[in-house]
Structure 1
Amino acid sequence: MSLTLADARIVTPEGVHEGWLTIEDGRITHVGHGSAPSPGLSLGGRHVVPGFVDIHNHGGAGGSFPTGEQDKARDAVALHRRHGTTTMMASLVTDTLDGLSRAASSLSELCEEGLFAGIHFEGPYIAKARCGAHNPALLREPSPQELSGLVKAARGHARMVTVAAELPGGLDTIRTAVGEGLLAALGHSDADYDQAIAAIEAGATVATHLYNAMPQLGHRAPGPIAALLEDERVTVELVNDGVHVHPAMLRLAYEVAGPGRTALITDAMAATGLGDGDYVLGPMRVHVTDGVARLVEGGSIAGSTLTMDAAFRRGVRELGMSLPDAVQVASLTPARVLGLAEEIGSIAVGKAADLVVLSAELEVDGVMKNGDWITEP
């Protein structure tokens, strides 16, 4: 089956052009300028961008990935796909080892179905002083042996682990993660500048939601933020929801890391797509007021109710990104983090037809996954 999308403003890494593209058997086969050579589906000048890639997501539509409940996880994936996220990781939070293993095993079946690009263990190897919405009673010292057991439970679909590198066993666990083929991320950490550098040297290449759950940037004590921003090997996650980080600090990080090392994430939880009220994030109770999720006990921010299309729009409107750069931080850079940049993340011949149609106001008008419409424009 062949489909041509015509009369479109196509956003590629090279820029934005008026043109068309053709899709066959779920792949992009042609990308052209000007008028399409044959009749197709006219998009009336709307933008076409690659599907968004979210490497840090805990759920939505009432579903919480840390529970491992497959039906609710499917609902969450469907919600995020309607908002343009065509590739995502399932992020877990701190739980018992048995609880993490059960959730990972269950979600691995959804990975095999293509609903997730992998599983992210955000806990339990994080710092009590920076645990945020994680249960401090369930935190553990990093253990290479335990991590290997969690990786085994995920049946080949573990993709990332967040570690507080300053903890005993932290650096060895980072090295083990890399040896197991996982991405090692530094986050929920009380590390100082030198300890963060040691984590990077051990193999950490991702900053879990930069700024959040780590020491602040200081002129005498630069802490992990400076180390993570200045090292070209590190991709920094940013939660661009207007709550987690002030726009000025987001702009600062983006100016240093650039689109090639910045990945917008949602850190979404079960309330995403729903209203205010009571929810859970793993074993923790969460209350959402005015779209902001906080722990019932203590009031820490507990994930977000953000979707990637909203993060994309804020990137353009609040942070001053060009459309190609906003596409890079929402699609291509996170795809590269996952090792999938040859398949997804940009509009190019040969890549999967994971596409989002956006209005002039950058609202989602259509979403396509592997050449099939999820939402038809």
Structure 2
Amino acid sequence: MRINSIITNAKVVTPHRTIERGFIALRDGRIRLVGPMETISQLDLAAAMERIDVKGSWALPGFVDVHVHGGFGHDFMDASQAAIEGITRFHASCGTTTMLATTVTGSKEALADVLQASDAFIRNGNGMPYARLAGVHLEGPFISPKWPGAQNPSYIVPPQPDWIREWTAKYPGLIKLMTLAPETEGALETIRLLSEQGIVPACGHTDSTYAQIVSAAAHGLRHAVHTFNAMKGLHHREPGVVGAVMTEDRITAEVIADGHHVHPACIGLLAKAKGPDGLVLVTDAISAAGLGDGDYQLGGLGVIVKDGVARLKEGDSLAGSTLTMIEALRFMVQTVGVSMETASRMASGNPARQLGMEIETGSIETGKLGDLVIVSPDFKVERVMVAGRTLSFEPPAAE
């Protein structure tokens, strides 16, 4: 069998076990063989065009970030090809191989611009040079004015099913996930519509009661955005949104594992409640990710970043994060205390399954795309591969 490249001497995390000293053979952008080093064919090894000895580092499936607003000075709300390429480049350098362009609450026109730009980027005949843009996550504007968080309250509106019908007709399959407040008028019908269109309905920025979230789950709600943040908390007589998310098996929970948004003990509690298949790591990163402290913007609102923590200038609410997926993975393993295998599932397999992409990516298995990240024992990204292609983050040569 013709092999393009072979990764050798890796701690390979598969869905079933970790191969302590393993190899991954890739051909035509896909994983063709995975196994212990002692089972590798010397003929395949000799014939491989590229042999990559990772010297005991981890081989993980590439990270899948379903909630990311920007990075390295760019925001998806900029709705430009340059911004999208800048964001996908930066987060790819941190191990993300698939992501959703996440909006903030804005005008219908501004959201339409993001959809148009994302669609154009995905359809570009030159392909995507860095992380794969899989679609769009609309965070708002159908959220609760009681829990705006860092969303601009000027643009919060009740659910508008006609907007969804218009956008899905114009851009079929582009919108992958939508965050709304299930308690708002018309939300349950909107959740049904989203489900019919193949869009994952998510609760977030919501004042829902426990009963309202359970009812929404019966109508198709499947996801909770940045659990604990911008939602009604847990109370022993009214479990609220958090209680419903923790106990409702139909809902997968996001968490921002940076130590600022949620206490590690609460992340651990959520991980135990949801199990290894029910939790999704996200960055919720804004344009400040990858840059230093300073003044930034998010959805037209002023943000100040100090010691890596982003907050609104007015009101002091947390305003997204400067987190990367490799940092989230490290935090889950080193601080929360989950295994590397479980953290990898939360960073890759679970979000891929939520997007319906698990046949193609999210785990290291024969036949899947060669979306891989090589991580050193001290959690440094050493190599990133998308569809078997090693990404280069060197600046282009001067003409």
Q: TM-score, normalised by structure 2?
A: 0.92
Asked whether the equivalents of residues 108 and 155 of structure 1 are also in contact (C-alpha less than 8 Å), the reply is: no
Aligned to 2:16: 14
Are 2:58 and 1:47 aligned? yes
SS at match of 2:352: helix
Give the alignment of 1:165-184 within 5 angstroms. 165-184=182-201
Are 2:41 and 1:37 aligned? yes
Alpha-carbon spacing, 1:361–1:375, altered in 2? closer, same or farther (3 Å)? farther
Distance 2:24 2:153 in 1: 51
Question: 253, 272, 278: which is aligned to 1:236?
Answer: 253
Aligned to 1:257: 274
Distance 1:261 1:363 in 2: 26
Q: CA deviation at 1:375?
A: 4.6
RMSD: 1.4
Aligned to 2:80: 69
The range that moved more, 53-62 or 153-162, is 153-162
Asked whether the equivalents of residues 123 and 139 of structure 1 are also in contact (C-alpha less than 8 Å), the reply is: yes
Aligned to 1:325: 342
Give the alignment of 1:75-86 within 5 angstroms. 75-86=86-97
Q: CA deviation at 1:208?
A: 0.8
SS at match of 1:162: strand
Q: CA deviation at 1:102?
A: 1.4
Amino acid at match of 2:342: D
Asked whether the equivalents of residues 111 and 157 of structure 1 are also in contact (C-alpha less than 8 Å), the reply is: no
Aligned length: 376
Amino acid at match of 1:352: L
Aligned to 2:31: 28
Runs of at least 5 residues in structure 1 that lack an aligned partner in the other structure: none
Q: CA deviation at 1:190?
A: 0.3
SS at match of 1:263: strand
Give the alignment of 1:138-217 within 5 angstroms. 138-152=155-169, 154-217=171-234
Distance 1:205 1:268 in 2: 22
Aligned to 2:388: 371
The range that moved more, 334-343 or 8-17, is 8-17
Asked whether the equivalents of residues 173 and 198 of structure 2 are also in contact (C-alpha less than 8 Å), the reply is: no
Distance 2:197 2:37 in 1: 47
Question: 56, 61, 67: which is aligned to 2:67?
Answer: 56
SS at match of 2:267: helix
Are 2:326 and 1:298 aligned? no
SS at match of 1:188: coil
Distance 2:23 2:214 in 1: 46
SS at match of 2:217: helix
Asked whether the equivalents of residues 148 and 205 of structure 2 are also in contact (C-alpha less than 8 Å), the reply is: yes
Q: Percent identity?
A: 39
Aligned to 2:120: 109
Asked whether the equivalents of residues 6 and 20 of structure 1 are also in contact (C-alpha less than 8 Å), the reply is: yes
SS at match of 1:344: coil
Aligned to 1:220: 237
